[in-house]
Amino acid sequence: MRDYRQKYKKIKRMINRALSMICVCVVCIIALFLTNYLIRNNNPKIESPLKIKETRIYEEIDQIKVEDLYSSNAILISLDNNDILLDKSSDERIYPASLTKIMTAILAIENLSDLDEMIYLSEDMFQELYSENASMAGFLPNEKVAAIDLIYGVLLPSGAESAIGLADAIAGSEENYVKLMNKKAEKLGMNNSHFTNATGLHDTNHYSTVKDIAILLEYALQNDTFREVYTSERHTTKATNLQPYGITLRSTMFKKMETQDVNGGVIEGGKTGYTEEAKLCLASLAKIDGKEYILVTADAEGSPQTEQFNILDAFNVYNQIFLKDNY
């Protein structure tokens, strides 16, 4: 009987020790859970692994692409959240060349009550543009053209006669139209830009930055008419008094591209620019993996007759976005 009692007491002590250990483990687990919960909910500095990975992706894009770009100035912006994903001297002054016509076009759209209004293109205007070797859309002296067709003429073939025709019709002169352009630039916060003409022809006092052009393009793309024109590959104009079958206008960017496809998406639209001083420029829009991006580049060597290094830069940058995002 005595042996039985001793065995009972021994077993009881073992059970009590086991229960004590279990209780300690349970308390530790609860304490650890509460600590993690409080940290996650009260410390905003802690990032999820996914967010940290995205940050590293963008840093890697920036490091790789800035070194590889042909363009001296560049900026890549995600329209999804306005993050700057690539920055190469984006605040440095550039000559925008025909990227200027983004401003010319959006102002015209906003200031014309009727986009089907017929606008007269004076003969005097053409003589000056011919002497300056300005790019032309294909309209003729003394032609009456619908305003919307002139807007297509500004953005697709980069027609200087289209830009001046709109400026004269809206403001009475290019000089007055330029005042509207600078006023709009100031309103948009384009603090490092100044325009002296509506075409982008070279002038030392006509300047901008790729960051300012990106601000302008992001704003303009919110307008449905601008977006439709800007993303068009070609457009056939209405009949006019001098061209009864109209003319077909083609995008200067798209006609120099074999494909619009990039990894995970497409290049949706773009506006090229070139003068000897500005070199090759491009402001483009792409949709990749369901998200839209703006890339503005300037000061790439070459000319319209050489390899299009501005377009090559666009493909190189856009192709890497999808690869890095899916790394």
For residue 293, the SS3 value is strand
Burial readout 76-96 (b: 16 or more C-beta within 10 A, e: otherwise) = bbbbeeeeebbbbbbeeebbb
Which residue in 71, 158, 162, 284 is the catalytic one?
158
Among candidate residues 65, 88, 101, 324, the one labeled active-site is 101
Residue 261's SS3 state is strand
Distance CA 317, CA 282 (A): 13
Active site includes 98?
A: yes
User: Strand locations in 89-224, DSSP E?
Assistant: 118-120, 144-146
Q: Note if 291 is an active site residue.
A: no
Query: Distance of alpha carbon 63 from its chain centroid, rounded?
Result: 19
CA-CA distances (angstroms) from residue 20 to 8, 28, 29? 18, 12, 14
How far apart are the C-alpha atoms of 129 and 135, rounded to whole Å? 8
Q: From the candidates 71, 89, 90, 98, which is the catalytic residue? A: 98
Catalytic (active-site) positions: 98, 101, 158
